[in-house]
């Protein structure tokens, strides 16, 4: 049976219109380094809540990151839904090194899909879109975002989502994750 590929809006940044959800995670980390993405998001959030500050990154790079993060959020949402139905399984890690978990809890480190499910129980895809739009808009301008509550929860969940996506990609490259 042929795998069904979904359009996550990745054509702009990846060059391909359709990806599988796990394939999109892999494509995301081929184009982006996890540490650089997290640092850029941190800078964007700081610039969007401080008055008269803007991000020093090239606006084209910021827009590229915005597009790729939107696609990543949609892929993570689909993986979380597939995991509930048993169509996506991640092998659990029995050894959980404290240094490696980062913002993930031990159970999220063992099962990274759990981080996706928790992220989408805290915020919807539309709320992540709004968060990304706010952060990009206010980090590129000189104005400050007065709605800090709309930024904090999605920011924390997005950081967890990035780590979980990276874990899934790493485990897939070593053969520990299967997507059906």
Tens digit of pLDDT for each residue in 94-152?
565 555 557 888 888 888 899 999 999 999 999 999 999 999 988 888 777 777 777 88
Nearest-CA neighbor of 119 among 149, 79, 168, 68?
79
What is residue 178's predicted lDDT score, i.e. its pLDDT? 47
d(C-alpha 164, C-alpha 8), whole Å: 18
Average pLDDT over residues 12-22: 67
Radius of gyration, CA atoms only, the chain:
16
Average pLDDT over residues 173-177: 64
Domain ranges of the chain: 6-179
19 alpha-carbon distance from chain centroid: 16
What is residue 73's predicted lDDT score, i.e. its pLDDT? 93
Beta bridge partners of 178: 89
Q: Which two tokens stand for residue 52?
A: 């008269």
- Backbone φ and ψ for 107, nearest 5 degrees, come out as -70, -35
Nearest-CA neighbor of 122 among 97, 94, 163, 150?
150
What is the percentage of the chain residues whose pLDDT exceeds 90? Answer: 33
Task: Give me the chain's average pLDDT, please.
Answer: 80
């Amino acid at each position: 049976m042929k795998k069904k590929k979904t359009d996550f809006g990745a054509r702009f940044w990846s060059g391909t219109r359709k990806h599988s959800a796990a394939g999109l995670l892999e494509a995301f980390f081929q184009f982006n380094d996890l540490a650089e993405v997290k640092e850029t998001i941190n800078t964007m959030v700081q610039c969007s809540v401080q008055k008269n500050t803007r991000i020093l990154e090239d606006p084209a790079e910021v827009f590229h990151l915005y597009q790729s993060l939107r696609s990543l959020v949609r892929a993570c949402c689909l993986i979380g839904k597939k995991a509930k139905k048993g169509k996506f399984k991640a092998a659990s890690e029995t050894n959980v090194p404290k240094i490696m978990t980062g913002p993930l809890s031990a159970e999220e480190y063992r099962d990274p899909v759990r981080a996706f499910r928790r992220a989408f129980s805290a915020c919807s895809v539309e709320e992540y879109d709004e968060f990304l739009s706010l952060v990009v808009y206010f980090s590129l301008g000189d104005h400050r975002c007065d709605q800090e509550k709309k930024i904090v929860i999605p920011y924390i969940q997005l950081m967890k989502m990035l780590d979980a996506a990276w874990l899934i990609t790493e485990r897939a490259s070593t053969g520990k994750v299967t997507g059906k």
